[in-house]
Amino acid sequence: MRHGGVGFAIWSTLLKTVQELPCGISPRLMKLQVNLEGRHTATLLSCYTPTLPAPEEEKEECYEHLNRAIDTIAFKDKLFVLGDFNARVGSDYQLWHKVIGRHGIGNENANGSMLSISISKTLISASTFFSKQVSLIDKSVKVFW
């Protein structure tokens, strides 16, 4: 049985933009830097956080690694944190208005609280800022990501 683990899948046409080989920060966190036009850099963090029933210490350690990694990124770099956070940030736009958008769904869970607190200083949960139309069988249902 696997426990943790992250990686990057990179199109071969983009390999020339990679500054250096991806760097493993922890079993659940990896960093990749790519060159952009105009001598800019994008830093991508791939993250797989523990699931809801995981021990709190494991979750806290994962978010400590994530926060330290974010703190080391140059301010001028474009930062993208990608992955599976095993979290629901909910739809309380009023509480987290600088972190989540108006298109969150459901209720926040404990992992969502940890994620919101962790990213609130520098990031937003982009998936909550956009809605999508999804067709289920013969009914059109609006799904918010």
Model confidence, pTM: 0.77
Q: Are 52 and 111 in contact (CB under 8 A)?
A: yes
Q: Is residue 143 classed as helix, strand or coil in its secondary structure?
A: strand
Per the model's pLDDT, the better-predicted residue between 89 and 4 turns out to be: 89
- Pairwise pLDDT comparison (116 vs 29), residue with the higher score: 29
Q: 121 or 53: whose pLDDT is higher?
A: 53
Residue 47 in contact with residue 69, Cβ under 8 Å? no
When pLDDT is averaged across residues 19-36 and rounded to a whole number, the result is 92
Cβ pair 104, 89 in contact under 8 A: yes
Instruction: Mean pLDDT check: name the lowest of 5-14, 104-113, 131-140.
Output: 131-140
User: 67 pLDDT exceeds 60?
Assistant: yes
* pLDDT at position 138 over 70: no
Q: How confident is the model at residue 4 (pLDDT cuts 50, 70, 90)?
A: low
How far is it, in rounded angstroms, from Cα 19 to Cα 35?
6
* Average pLDDT of the chain, as a whole number: 80
| The pLDDT value given to residue 143 | 41
pLDDT band, very low/low/confident/very high, at 72 (cuts 50, 70, 90): very high
CA end-to-end distance (rounded Å), the chain:
30
